[in-house]
Structure 1
């Protein structure tokens, strides 16, 4: 296996660990569907419900026939492989839950399922961890990047990635092909969201308490989503990093199970899926919104923490009703290039206001110049003196040399 293949296989396995939001225990004080009122969904749904928006869920697969999904799922490519099949307990466990969370927020959106990671108990994940399948590791190395590009090609306007590499501190998870895929998607007008990670616990005995950087949330262009509890505060497992953009409900979320029924899920994974649903609401209100405008709306309308921003919850809890309202009149992007129309300067112009100085005292300038001239004269005299030819030295007196 190449060094890249090995590194990527580990990264994919790590992503699956981060994706397993069901591994985070749900709090007993989380009432069912508390996120509906927290997001102000009934008010948002009076204006938008996600009509006409395709949301790509890049995950472990989605069981499309689950009643919670209402026939709104299209099954796309499987880029990770590994041998699992629909109907097995380790196919679509995580992805089915995430798709249902998107549709809970945006019930008239459509889901494109793209399989790019393994569920936690998938034997393929364990094989990758042991590094015994070279070909599978090489395939896994490009699964996420290929999935992003595929989703863009299929017309997705939102990409939801409830996954990340934060669970292992032995690697960063940074992959150049995924960076390029993210840039490509954003350039095509696609908004990308990812979970901030579940390693934010301060308990030293917590196995996932590493709080390391999690990709893809940390890539430029990706909206990182932290998790909140019913009290509106950061969930204790939610990653703490400056790449977090916003926060969404992520504790005790009633979600679909791949084998039927429902389960309570906690993690930054459902928080990401819920935030992706809110973006779908905004786009159904205004399909012309750019990723930059959507980011601006999310951050501007969020319920800000003290100071306006912190690495715990980013710009704060997303407010679906406020997002939908703002989508109707988003304004122009806050950052844009403008021509420089100021004074002429050498180079590309100043980066700040030109600095001014008091006038030079010409008296001191004359004294300094005179002193410098005198000093140069003394140096010249010394140089000429040292260069004078020396007189010949007479031979010492003594007896004449022998004949």
Structure 2
């Protein structure tokens, strides 16, 4: 974990935020004997792709839904006596496997969409494209697509914690003799740590002074009246280090769809998910680290992505996900009644995931999506109609053209595993910032839907291009606010 002196030096070296990574965590394993997750990718590539020789097919299944099941594993509903339609759907699956020379690896139901989805491996001579062309003409099949791959969109190291240790290989050597610089950086001039509601810098968290993005968004002003209480936020990402001192007690539940089949877990401490969670949920006024944007929100972590080791794929460390893991996580988030769903990832168009996302929106959820880099192009989730797509401040040219939101995403200080803090860069972090602000806004105005939130946030964007949380709340009609400029003017008088 970085000590205070190290943080000041790291702030001075923000341009070096993208540091070398150490080998990462495991690729996906088998969640259970009945629902088998596909192996992690092994071939080198720089962009998401369809996993070779795996497809997802779906058939209609109008059986009685399981209680609270948005996406339930096959084993659950097959044990349910009298689950109407399951026998027919199972028979259809077996017939498709036989007719098209496929091997079923996993199956699960999405009750709200009346679908039984199957993950198949090709065993015949067809390639994926030729098979899908034939299968899409089959009236029994309601959806047919490749098993697509996605990646998280942060630029720093993802696999290990080298960046959290002063002098680690591949990172800047932090001079431990900079305590005075750290003390100056950790407190804004002319402010005294206090309680939320105090104008200025109302926090006793020692690294608040380094949270420039938090301050640029005027989040403290909105936290005068809202901390996101009772708003349900779903973070669909890698695992999260819920034992981090700044996240202790902040993560309501964690489910693992990579190696746990959706089981509740104490946590899989991976970097990207921990970074995103810290920006949204880090505890305020605990004399520890940083301040989260919505520390009062009810946040659930759905692990649908896994960290790749550098040995598996050359290039920057990153985390990967696929249609299979993301579909199950999205289904669970819908079933849990998520109000806001954070998707700090990107990849190709995906019909199944888009249908799930649209269903979540129809139930009132706000989708927040990271803007894809140019090399990826538009796909899921950025192309989902109505999603709040967020670019990083400084990358605003395309955002202006597409009507995307812009939020701080460069050299952003946040939490990393093992009790550490580090800076990272990317639209993943910009999206997390918007998710935190949206949680604040929905707590302050529970009837604010995605179109109203989008208009308010777009209208709040300053000349520098970033969203302003307090101004957005004003546009929604939230009263009782003293935005930053007004607080400063009052203090001057």
TM-score (norm 1): 0.61
Whole-angstrom CA distance in 2 between matches of 1:221 and 1:145: 19
| Alignment of 1:223 onto 2:360 | no
| Alignment of 1:37 onto 2:215 | yes
* Structure 1 residues 264 and 74: CA distance shift in structure 2, 3 A: same
Whole-angstrom CA distance in 2 between matches of 1:32 and 1:155: 34
| Alignment of 1:322 onto 2:471 | yes
Out of 310, 328, 332, the position equivalent to 1:150 is 332
Whole-angstrom CA distance in 2 between matches of 1:9 and 1:76: 28
1:252 is matched with which residue? 411
Whole-angstrom CA distance in 1 between matches of 2:413 and 2:211: 6
Are the aligned partners of 2:294 and 2:440 in contact in 1 as well (CA < 8 Å)? Answer: yes
Shift of 1:175: 1.0
Counterparts in 2 of 1:165-204, with a 5 A limit?
165=347, 173-197=348-372, 199-200=373-374
Greater gyration radius? 1
Counterparts in 2 of 1:13-52, with a 5 A limit?
15-16=150-151, 18-23=152-157, 32-52=210-230
How many residues of Structure 1 are paired with residues of Structure 2 in the alignment? 279
Are the aligned partners of 1:142 and 1:177 in contact in 2 as well (CA < 8 Å)? Answer: no
SS of structure 2 residue aligned to 1:224: strand
* Structure 1 residues 21 and 211: CA distance shift in structure 2, 3 A: same
Out of 70, 78, 102, the position equivalent to 2:256 is 78
| Alignment of 1:280 onto 2:439 | yes
Deviation string 1:300-321 (CA, Å, 9 cap, x unpaired) is: 222267xxxxxxxxxx421111
Shift of 1:10: 6.8
Are the aligned partners of 1:196 and 1:244 in contact in 2 as well (CA < 8 Å)? Answer: no
Whole-angstrom CA distance in 2 between matches of 1:290 and 1:323: 13
| Alignment of 1:265 onto 2:424 | yes
Q: Which moved more, 1:142-151 or 1:98-107?
A: 142-151
Whole-angstrom CA distance in 2 between matches of 1:277 and 1:120: 27
Deviation string 1:338-377 (CA, Å, 9 cap, x unpaired) is: xxxxxxxxxxxxxxxxxxxxxxxxxxxxxxxxxxxxxxxx
SS of structure 2 residue aligned to 1:101: helix
Whole-angstrom CA distance in 1 between matches of 2:310 and 2:304: 13
1:110 is matched with which residue? 298
Unaligned runs of 5+ in 1: 127-136, 166-172, 201-209, 306-315, 331-403
Shift of 1:23: 4.4
Whole-angstrom CA distance in 1 between matches of 2:220 and 2:338: 25
Unaligned runs of 5+ in 2: 1-52, 57-118, 122-127, 129-144, 164-170, 172-184, 186-208, 282-291, 314-319, 480-493
Whole-angstrom CA distance in 2 between matches of 1:219 and 1:275: 17
- RMSD over aligned Cα, in angstroms? 3.6
Are the aligned partners of 1:58 and 1:114 in contact in 2 as well (CA < 8 Å)? Answer: yes
Out of 225, 234, 250, the position equivalent to 2:395 is 234
Whole-angstrom CA distance in 2 between matches of 1:35 and 1:184: 32
Whole-angstrom CA distance in 1 between matches of 2:156 and 2:260: 21
Shift of 1:262: 0.7
| Alignment of 1:11 onto 2:161 | no
SS of structure 1 residue aligned to 2:368: strand
Are the aligned partners of 1:32 and 1:252 in contact in 2 as well (CA < 8 Å)? Answer: no
Whole-angstrom CA distance in 1 between matches of 2:215 and 2:302: 30
* Structure 1 residues 213 and 86: CA distance shift in structure 2, 3 A: same
Whole-angstrom CA distance in 2 between matches of 1:280 and 1:323: 12
Which has the larger share of helix? 1
* Structure 1 residues 327 and 43: CA distance shift in structure 2, 3 A: same
SS of structure 2 residue aligned to 1:47: coil
| Alignment of 1:302 onto 2:490 | no
Shift of 1:257: 0.9
Which has the larger share of strand? 2
TM-score (norm 2): 0.51
* Structure 1 residues 242 and 248: CA distance shift in structure 2, 3 A: same
* Structure 1 residues 260 and 44: CA distance shift in structure 2, 3 A: same
* Structure 1 residues 239 and 78: CA distance shift in structure 2, 3 A: farther
Whole-angstrom CA distance in 1 between matches of 2:341 and 2:54: 30
